[in-house]
Structure 1
Amino acid sequence: MAFLDLDGLRFHVQRLAPGDGGPPAATAVLLHGLLTDSLASHYFTLAPALAAAGVEVLMYDQRGHGRSERPADGYRLDDFVDDLAGLLDRLAPDGPVQLVGNSFGGTVAYGLAARRPDRVAGILAIESEPASPAWAEKLDGILRRAEAELADESALAWVAAERGAHTARLARSAGRLLAGTSLARDIPASTLPTPAELGTIGCPVLAVYGTESDLAEQAARLEALLPRCRSAFVPGQEHSVLVEAPDTVLDLTLAWLREHGARLRGPAARAGQDLHGSLR
């Protein structure tokens, strides 16, 4: 475990070197989602296998989440993008990095690519979308409902009974985050990039969706907006693709890295070699 101070906030950061001790085939920065998420969702899915394939992996708990510091305010999208830019400036990976963002983590990745294209070699966005007025309106509704429901002891008891103690602990932590910070109000009030600004994102993008997710319907619009965007669909999955189908997401990630020049190594490197046909 390591901690890094960025602009007065303490962040929990994990860095996995290539498993064979060789030079990195690529650097991947793994970005998690909101509320119940943390870098643990990547640590127990993608991260070890990517490192075993020769990839340098960076991941961190976003502000307010996991073991990172939880300020009372400062949760607009630009704050999260600032954190990512500061992390990359401090750790100085060699050249542009691949950003792998789950849910809100993908939104942060799009934000950095629009602001600092020199830092981003590519984006793999899992069940995610760039910030937009529709995104802000949707997040406003989701966060307001979560704020009310996670303050209700009967709702938390239902989570414990139906989803187990671990999920209940995550829900309680999310409730404390919402009750003790301005996150639920800050994110919907974020400064939003314009379609023209998003259209300048010139790096390759792979957008991964569950076929049963409501986000899947945006695939064609995103491909029209971003000049180098393609889509991949995981059958039978909803929003929790990373957790519910980690092997498929890993295979897609390895295939994506290989396609964009990473000379992967080790047994894990063979995964995903035949998946290019699943990319639209």
Structure 2
Amino acid sequence: MAKIRVGELDVHVQRMAAAGPPASDPPPLVVLVHGLLIDSLASYYFSLGPFFAERGMDVLMYDLRGHGRTGRPAAGYRLEDFVSDLDGLLDALEEDRPAHVVGNSFGGAIAYGLAASRPDRVRSVIAIESEPPVKSWAEKMAEGLTGEEGGLVVREVRAWLAEDPERNARPFQLAGRLLDGTTLGQDIPRSRVLGDTLADIRCPVFALYGADSKLSGQAGHLSATLPHCRTVILPDQGHSVLVERTKETADLILDWLQDDIHTPVKAG
């Protein structure tokens, strides 16, 4: 465990060095970015992190601002703040390898955001149950985080807890503090967004969805819009792809990474 100073923020970081034979020379860098509110790097520490390290890749995981063991400032939660944190973290670690950025849910929006603002820093985007941060994304985030009784996301979390009161409520208590004690709910819908043509996304993209998720309908649009994009839809699966289909997710991403690692990077 380590904390790295990034601007005014202490960022909690976990790294796993390539444990098996390096997948390339130097080993590929895989950055794992978790989701919003009830998530932290722990969701990767016990799943994809060891999986990729054992297959010869250097893995970087970190807690987003306001989450886990990273600092929780009162304000500064627009998407561009999260993107700047990741960019600054890679600077602080003196990391100059273009990264394969894996983002789950909101983490995928951060991955797309970094690819758009720092194309030199991103080798590929792997988006799990996520969508590019365009205008419609901001509108959905507003619906989920603000409004009556806190928004759709908050109401769904409360209903999920009510179904089984024995569930570990701590992540939801922490999420409540984040929503009540910061400007996150107001900031995210006001984030700077990408154009609908996604012209700023020039790296390869792999997008993975559950067939029963509301997000799966965008797979065709991504494939048609992005020049180097692969989409996979898992049948009989909702939003919780990473948790409920961990092994399948890991294998699919590994196949993608192995193909991309051995594809020469085009100049310009």
TM-score w.r.t. the length of structure 2 is 0.90
Match of 2:92 in 1: 90
Match of 2:179 in 1: 178
Shift of 1:165: 3.0
Match of 1:11 in 2: 11
Q: Of the candidates 40, 43, 61, which is equivalent to residue 41 of structure 1?
A: 43
Q: 1:148 to 1:89 in 2, by over 3 A?
A: same
Query: 1:176 corresponds to which letter in structure 2?
Result: R
Sequence identity percentage: 51
TM-score w.r.t. the length of structure 1 is 0.86
Q: Secondary structure at the match of 1:199?
A: coil
Q: Looking at secondary structure, tell me which structure has more helix per residue.
A: 1
8 Å contact kept, 1:26–1:262: no
Unaligned runs of 5+ in 2: 264-268
Q: Secondary structure at the match of 1:195?
A: coil
What's the CA shift string for 1:188-221, capped at 9, x where partnerless? 011112235x223121100000011110101111
Q: 1:48 to 1:158 in 2, by over 3 A?
A: closer
Q: Which of 15-24 and 143-152 deviates more?
A: 143-152
Q: Secondary structure at the match of 1:100?
A: strand
Structure 1 Cα separation of the partners of residues 154 and 88 of structure 2? 33
Instruction: Map 1:21-100; keep pairs closer than 5 Å.
Output: 25-100=27-102
Q: Secondary structure at the match of 2:164?
A: helix
Q: Secondary structure at the match of 2:215?
A: helix
Name the Cα RMSD after superposition. 2.3
Size of the alignment, in residue pairs? 259
Structure 1 Cα separation of the partners of residues 142 and 47 of structure 2? 29
Structure 1 Cα separation of the partners of residues 262 and 68 of structure 2? 30
Structure 1 Cα separation of the partners of residues 49 and 216 of structure 2? 25
Q: Secondary structure at the match of 2:29?
A: strand
Match of 1:267 in 2: none
Shift of 1:92: 2.7
8 Å contact kept, 1:24–1:54: no
Structure 2 Cα separation of the partners of residues 220 and 140 of structure 1? 24
Unaligned runs of 5+ in 1: 264-280
What's the CA shift string for 1:6-47, capped at 9, x where partnerless? 111111001100114856531100000100011011112100
Match of 1:206 in 2: 206
Q: 1:162 to 1:94 in 2, by over 3 A?
A: same
Query: 2:113 corresponds to which letter in structure 1?
Result: G
